[in-house]
Chains A and B, each alone.
Chain A
Amino acid sequence: MVIRSKKIAQMAENLAAHEMGKSHSLWADARRRFFKNKAAVISLIVLTLIVAFAFLAPYFTKWSNEEIDWAILGSVAEDGKPSFARGHFFGADPLGRDLFARVAQGTQISLMVGFVGAFIAVIVGTLYGAIAGYFGGRIDNIMMRIVDILMSIPYMFVLILLLVVFGRSIFMLFVGLGLISWLDMSRIVRGQTMVLKNKEFVEAAIAGGSTKFTIIVRHIIPNLLGIVIVYASLLVPAMILTESFISFLGLGVQEPNTSWGALISEGAGTVLYGTLWQLLFPLAFFVAGLFSFFFIGDGLRDALDPKDR
């Protein structure tokens, strides 16, 4: 649930020394470096497989994620084991629903939560940080004090409050997760923006009569891309972890929809009753997914960090 922002901040410093926007060779270089990183490449493959599973699995099973197999409903512990004969490749959940289909569906939701949450955080954080950094002075001062204040708020508690107050919905979850995570991003982006705005190409744009907004969107933000990508890649697993915690509290997505967190917490609760598969299959996807994100994130950072070149 925690991202090591200082490391990224350091990378931002290194990046600021370079000018990335239009230099294609830099990107090509980064790509080459990334694909040299074995762990990152394997992770990318694993992640691709997981995504493929999430969207293709429904075509390989006759069960949907909500259909109950009435024949085994009363005896899931005995007859709900993973079985090709019955068509339950991953076994059945406590209500006789097909776990294969449910894991696929839960994977979709968890990935969506991760990506959309990270997307919101990155957009808000980048814009906020770029504006504060570019305008500087009093605006910057006020905006950054606000960030300081928000950083001191115990967010998980506020998120629980939000979900309790406004009812559980996936929308609220996105808003809540997004709101938690943009603060670090905005600080890093602000710092880099302050360096960038004194560069020649920005001064050229100002001389050319571009508006401030255009300069931020056209010239500053594209140059922040490297840092944004790295940060986002680390945010995704953090989001997924947070969602799993929320699901454990019973504040996650609505039935019959599910998520990795919801499946794992259900499986962990019934582990005593001899239905181990209900925990292991979703947990395997969860762990594999998170590993992949971590390694890809690390790989991207190493690849995009110009320091060692």
Chain B
Amino acid sequence: MKSFTKILTAALIGTTFLVAPVLAAKVPAGTNLAADQTFTYRVLDEHSSVDPQIVEDVSGSEIVRDIFEGLLNQDALGNLIPGVATSWEASNGNLTYTFKLRKEAKWSNGDPVTANDFVYAWQRLADPETASAYAWYMEIMSLENAKEIIAGEKEPSELGVSAPDDYTLVVNLTAPLPYFAAMTTHASTFPSPQKVIEEFGAEWTKPGNIVSNGAYVLTEHVPNERSVRERNPMYWNDAETVITKVTALVINDEDAALIRYLAGELDRTEVPAGQYPRLKKENPNEAISFPRLCSYYYSFNVSDSGPEAFKDERVRQALSYALDRNVVTEQVLKGGQFPAYTFTPGTTANFTVPDVPIGQMTQAERDAKAKDLMEAAGYNKDNPLKFELLYNTSEEHKKVATVAAQMWKQKLGVEATLANQEWKVFLEVRGKQDFDLARGGWCGDYNEASTFLDLMTTPSGYNDGKYSNAELDKLMTDAKTAADPSANYTRVEEIMAEEMPIIPVYHYTGVYMMNESIIGSWPVKNVEQNWYSRDLYKVEK
């Protein structure tokens, strides 16, 4: 778990932060708000939980971010803004963090939110009794004794977090993390109400029982159908909250969801692959596409269990060159996705896409080069390269894989067999290097290039192809302490373009049909897509 190993933004490196007097992104003066301020959106799957210390999926975190509030929040651009904490201070060489909490923050039952609620929540997260899948988050936050508590060697009460008074939270770390404050926007670190949890046990998250400190409270939950959250009048900033009711509807089938959107039952739904241009033409103000911090790629298995052919750099290059990304993005997916020639998306903060050769050529040149490389590697029509292309079951992955396999077949005479597996099997097989070429997708944990590039280092647990390059490892290690690591990132991408351990295919976009009255307030520039319903509002059409 070495995800958060890097400075988030330069602004965070300082020591003391005080609240900016004006809160970010509020309803601009003169906005004509619509009468109806409810927001209904589609989720693919039922959320795992709304318990902050238990939740582990995206749709659950969206709800938790609405009904609970942590120390800090993100604004529409992804910058840190105050939440329950009004200010924070790092001392002792970034080993101690002190948060000052706002006194007006209240739970939905009227109790004040105190530092003890955070202490309780964080201890609860690390406690083996809770058995949270996110317990490791305490460990990567480097809290004192977190590791020992998780291992059952120490008591949860010994965790390096304390409340000297009701509105001061002190955190002691074992490593100087300059970006620690930013980690408190994660749902796992949100406070939880001890009294309620002790009263109701596992039932405490049920509507009626649940007490929360966010802008909304959970008022209805019909598993696999809907969950509804409504305004919490006790929320300290309720006066500036506009949306009154948020409903998440579970709709498995994206085509069915689109029909229901078109029938006016939803304010937001995903656009099925390939349908964006048509919908954009028919509903120009409702179809939107914006960059996400995610990459789609194929990794070569270069470990001992992988095919011999993939140990030859020329074969890997040839396959990468012959894959026409523009066809994938413009003719198959058609959702404004960006063709990828580097692993890190161009929208990543402080990252400039390097001029790697593959990105500079025309497709005809790439194809010609691919043929030469394949020939040089000793593969041709009489001795075709054969391998299996593994992907997890999904309409979209199937399309990309089918198109890729056909390109390789027609251009290089390669015989790629398609193999799809359902998610859990796929993860198991890929994790055990039991594949030739496998699909991968990665979304950045934070807005910095190392969240992607660390994957390619030798010790990374997500380096599925077991690629290893000493220079790359050193560059990434150095980057952690470098004042400006961009040069290292550029070099790493160059090495990858050269050795091609993965085939970057495209960088994701968020492609939605969205009620035009709400688009204006949607944080499209927050590439991590951490959105809060309390920042949204609908304008009169």
Chains A and B directly touch (beta carbon < 8 Å): yes
Looking at the complex, which one of A66, A73, A273 makes contact with B331 (CB distance below 8 Å)? A73
| Complex interface: stretch among A10-18, A213-221, A222-230, A250-258 | A250-258
CB–CB A273/B398 < 8 A? no
Q: How far is the CA of A220 from the CA of B334 in the complex (A)?
A: 63
Interface residue? A19 (CB, 8 A):
no
Q: How far is the CA of A164 from the CA of B421 in the complex (A)?
A: 9
CB–CB B255/A270 < 8 A? yes
Interface residue? A101 (CB, 8 A):
no
Q: State how many angstroms separate the Cβ of A141 from the closest Cβ of chain B.
A: 41
Q: State how many angstroms separate the Cβ of A270 from the closest Cβ of chain B.
A: 7
CB–CB A255/B402 < 8 A? yes
Q: How far is the CA of A269 from the CA of B393 in the complex (A)?
A: 16
Q: How far is the CA of A67 from the CA of B425 in the complex (A)?
A: 29
Known A95-B399, A256-B418; judge A269-B255 contact (CB<8 A).
yes
Interface residue? B44 (CB, 8 A):
no
Interface residue? A68 (CB, 8 A):
yes
Q: How far is the CA of A77 from the CA of B255 in the complex (A)?
A: 16
CB–CB A254/B403 < 8 A? no
- Nearest A residue to B391, CB-CB: A255
Known A67-B406, A270-B255; judge A254-B419 contact (CB<8 A).
yes
CB–CB B259/A95 < 8 A? no
Query: Please, which residues of chain B bring their CB within 8 A of the CB of A272?
Result: 255, 258-259
- Convert A60-80 into 0s and 1s, putting 1 for each residue whose CB lies closer than 8 angstroms to a CB of B: 000000111010011001000
Query: Please, which residues of chain A bring their CB within 8 A of the CB of B275?
Result: 273
Interface residue total, chain A, C-beta cutoff 8 A? 20
A interface secondary structure, majority? loop
Query: Please, which residues of chain B bring their CB within 8 A of the CB of A74?
Result: 327, 330-332, 334
Query: Please, which residues of chain A bring their CB within 8 A of the CB of B398?
Result: 255
Q: Which residues of chain A from 21 to 77 have a CB within 8 Å of any chain B CB?
A: 66-68, 70, 73-74, 77
Interface residue? A117 (CB, 8 A):
no
Q: How far is the CA of A74 from the CA of B273 in the complex (A)?
A: 12
Known A95-B332, A254-B420; judge A273-B399 contact (CB<8 A).
no
- Convert A80-100 into 0s and 1s, putting 1 for each residue whose CB lies closer than 8 angstroms to a CB of B: 000000000000001100000
Q: How far is the CA of A182 from the CA of B395 in the complex (A)?
A: 34
- Nearest B residue to A266, CB-CB: B395
- Convert B370-394 into 0s and 1s, putting 1 for each residue whose CB lies closer than 8 angstroms to a CB of A: 0000000000000000000000010
Interface residue? B422 (CB, 8 A):
yes
- Nearest A residue to B399, CB-CB: A95
Interface residue? B274 (CB, 8 A):
yes
Q: How far is the CA of A67 from the CA of B409 in the complex (A)?
A: 10
Interface residue? B278 (CB, 8 A):
yes
- Nearest A residue to B256, CB-CB: A269
CB–CB B420/A95 < 8 A? no
CB–CB A273/B278 < 8 A? yes
Looking at the complex, which one of B253, B258, B278, B406 makes contact with A68 (CB distance below 8 Å)? B406
CB–CB B327/A73 < 8 A? yes
Q: How far is the CA of A167 from the CA of B428 in the complex (A)?
A: 12
Q: State how many angstroms separate the Cβ of A6 from the closest Cβ of chain B.
A: 37
Q: State how many angstroms separate the Cβ of A300 from the closest Cβ of chain B.
A: 39
Query: Please, which residues of chain A bring their CB within 8 A of the CB of B401?
Result: 255
Looking at the complex, which one of B258, B330, B393, B405 makes contact with A250 (CB distance below 8 Å)? B393
Q: How far is the CA of A250 from the CA of B397 in the complex (A)?
A: 13
CB–CB A94/B399 < 8 A? yes
CB–CB A164/B420 < 8 A? no
Query: Please, which residues of chain B bring their CB within 8 A of the CB of A67?
Result: 406
Query: Please, which residues of chain B bring their CB within 8 A of the CB of A255?
Result: 398, 401-402, 418, 420
Q: How far is the CA of A254 from the CA of B402 in the complex (A)?
A: 11
Q: How far is the CA of A273 from the CA of B272 in the complex (A)?
A: 11
Query: Please, which residues of chain A bring their CB within 8 A of the CB of B393?
Result: 250
Known A94-B274, A256-B418; judge A73-B332 contact (CB<8 A).
yes
CB–CB A70/B327 < 8 A? yes
Looking at the complex, which one of A68, A70, A94, A164 makes contact with B422 (CB distance below 8 Å)? A164
Known A77-B278, A167-B421; judge A95-B402 contact (CB<8 A).
yes
- Convert B246-284 into 0s and 1s, putting 1 for each residue whose CB lies closer than 8 angstroms to a CB of A: 000000010100110000000000000011001000000
Q: State how many angstroms separate the Cβ of B409 from the closest Cβ of chain A.
A: 8
Q: How far is the CA of A254 from the CA of B410 in the complex (A)?
A: 20
Q: State how many angstroms separate the Cβ of A95 from the closest Cβ of chain B.
A: 6
Query: Please, which residues of chain B bring their CB within 8 A of the CB of A273?
Result: 275, 278
Q: How far is the CA of A303 from the CA of B401 in the complex (A)?
A: 50
Query: Please, which residues of chain B bring their CB within 8 A of the CB of A270?
Result: 255
Q: How far is the CA of A68 from the CA of B253 in the complex (A)?
A: 26
Query: Please, which residues of chain A bring their CB within 8 A of the CB of B334?
Result: 74
Query: Please, which residues of chain B bring their CB within 8 A of the CB of A66?
Result: 402, 406
Query: Please, which residues of chain A bring their CB within 8 A of the CB of B406?
Result: 66-68
Q: How far is the CA of A67 from the CA of B255 in the complex (A)?
A: 26
Q: How far is the CA of A66 from the CA of B283 in the complex (A)?
A: 34
Q: How far is the CA of A73 from the CA of B406 in the complex (A)?
A: 12
Q: State how many angstroms separate the Cβ of B324 from the closest Cβ of chain A.
A: 9
Query: Please, which residues of chain A bring their CB within 8 A of the CB of B421?
Result: 167-168
Query: Please, which residues of chain B bring their CB within 8 A of the CB of A73?
Result: 327, 331-332, 403
- Convert A94-117 into 0s and 1s, putting 1 for each residue whose CB lies closer than 8 angstroms to a CB of B: 110000000000000000000000
- Nearest B residue to A165, CB-CB: B425
Q: How far is the CA of A237 from the CA of B330 in the complex (A)?
A: 41
Q: Which residues of chain A from 192 to 248 have a CB within 8 Å of any chain B CB?
A: none
Q: State how many angstroms separate the Cβ of A172 from the closest Cβ of chain B.
A: 13
Q: How far is the CA of A66 from the CA of B420 in the complex (A)?
A: 16
Query: Please, which residues of chain A bring their CB within 8 A of the CB of B278?
Result: 77, 273
B interface residues (Cβ-Cβ under 8 A, vs A): 253, 255, 258-259, 274-275, 278, 327, 330-332, 334, 393, 398-399, 401-403, 405-406, 418-422, 425
Known: A66-B402, A167-B422, A256-B418. 13 other contacts (CB 8 A): A68-B402, A73-B332, A74-B327, A74-B334, A94-B274, A94-B399, A95-B332, A250-B393, A254-B420, A255-B418, A269-B255, A270-B255, A273-B275
Instruction: Enumerate the 10 nearest inter-chain pairs by beta-carbon distance, A residue then B residue, closest first.
Output: A74-B331, A73-B331, A255-B418, A68-B406, A269-B255, A250-B393, A95-B402, A255-B398, A95-B399, A167-B421
Selected A-B contacts with CB under 8 Å, 29 pairs: A66-B402, A66-B406, A68-B403, A70-B327, A73-B327, A73-B332, A74-B327, A74-B330, A74-B332, A74-B334, A77-B278, A95-B402, A95-B403, A164-B422, A167-B421, A167-B422, A168-B420, A250-B422, A254-B418, A254-B420, A255-B398, A255-B402, A255-B420, A256-B402, A256-B405, A256-B418, A269-B255, A270-B255, A272-B258
